[in-house]
Amino acid sequence: MSGLRVLKPGPQSLLQDGGRHGWQHLGVSPSGPLDLHAAAWANRLLDNPWGTPLLEIALGYLELQGELDTWLALTGAQVAATLDGAPLPPWSRFPLRAGQRLKLGYARSGQRAYLAVAGGFRVPPQLGSVSSQLREGLGGLRGTGEPLRAGDLLSCLAAQLPRAQSVPWPYQPDYRAAARLRVIGGGDAASCAPEQLQAFFAQTWQLSPQSDRMGARLLGEPLLAPTRQWSQGVGRGAIQLPPDGQPIILQADHQTMGGYPILGWLHPLDLARLAQCPPHHELHFSPVDIGEAQAELRKFYRFFGR
């Protein structure tokens, strides 16, 4: 089978799909794209079903050459994309002919771009998913979770679509603005002193450079964590408070058990905005009602056909 040849892999380009679900009881995290919004739009532009395998490209600098005629869609971070030197519009789908080269520059806004192909990349799944998990060594092209390498072949099928399309501009996020993220209360929040919860929402946090696909670490005035004597299962979006008082927001490659107290959970749709924040980006938090968050998430899933 033919496909797209990797000429330059970029700092970290990972295959992702809808995630590796149903294995957390065995310690396997679900993985999947950090920015569900951008990933969902990339597949929708090509009429791909929800969770069709695509590429998550950290910071850009990817270069691919087509070995067949197909269609691609690029969303997420602004990465100055060109096709044989001609600039491409952001958040759009476009044809790729055999022999043409797609180049992505450095991300000028945002941190992760998403590249989908018509019909999806053809990769054997592991535990029901092709998602790359670096820490656990699962998924990806070689089944070891590692990023793309120069010379890799991303297998896909030839495809034809009627015309180019772009995501309407109101649905293209501005990643340069301050991130305002909503939090669903719960967990150990009732055990926190009221002034500590107030301090969490009142102050401006920054995203730590030590953040990764496992957890987004915050930098700010430390909070006083309540005492917890046991571990429990944790999920994506949980806001943990370790002894140093600097919260950690669990990401797609999160561990499945944790002993740190939990202040609440980030709104599932705001995880996408967090995924595009660079180190030291300002973060502001506000409470949100769980019913409101559920209604917005149902609307999101209906629109993208999940």
Pair 27, 152 in one domain = yes
pLDDT for the residue numbered 226: 81
Are 217 and 73 in a shared domain? no
Of 171, 196, 228, the one marking the end of a domain is 171
- Specify whether 94 is located in the same domain as 198: no
Q: Are residues 167 and 187 in the same domain?
A: no
| Bridge partners for 239 per DSSP | 249, 264
| Amino acid 205: pLDDT | 97
Q: Tell me the pLDDT tens digit for each residue of 144-182.
A: 999 999 999 999 999 998 899 999 988 899 999 888 999
On the question of pLDDT at 32 being above 80, the answer is: yes
Average pLDDT score over residue span 223-245: 89
Q: What is the pLDDT of residues 90-136, one digit of tens each?
A: 999 999 999 999 999 999 999 999 999 999 999 999 999 999 998 88
Contact (Cβ atoms closer than 8 angstroms) between residue 156 and residue 120: yes
Same domain as 244, residue 155 = no
Average pLDDT over residues 54-72: 97
pLDDT computed for residue 1 by the predictor: 73
Summarised one tens digit per residue, pLDDT across range 33-54 is 999 999 999 999 999 999 999 9
If asked whether residues 188 and 119 sit together in one domain, one would say no
Q: Give the closest residue to 263 by CA, choosing from 197, 205, 202.
A: 197
Residue 264 confidence class, pLDDT cut points 50, 70, 90: very high
In a shared domain, residues 185 and 95: no
Residue 190 pLDDT exceeds 90: no
Residues 156 and 185 in one domain: no
Distances from the Cα of 52 to the Cα of 67, 129, 158, 305, angstroms: 21, 10, 16, 12
Same domain, 281 and 211: yes
**304 C-beta neighbours (distance < 10 Å), count:** 17
Say yes or no: 17 and 162 in one domain. yes
CA dihedral 274, 7, 72, 108 (to 10 degrees): 40
pLDDT the model gives residue 58: 97
Of the residues 141, 171, 201, the one at which a domain ends: 171
Last residue of a domain, one of 171, 206, 233: 171
The domain containing residue 244 runs over which residues? Answer: 179-303
Domain count, the chain: 2
- CA 148 to the chain's CA centroid: 17
Answer yes or no: is pLDDT of 230 > 70. Answer: yes
Asked if pLDDT for residue 229 goes beyond 80, the answer is no
Q: Are 148 and 260 in the same domain? A: no
Are 42 and 134 in a shared domain? yes
CATH number at residue 252: 2.40.100.10
For residue 283, pLDDT over 80 is answered with yes
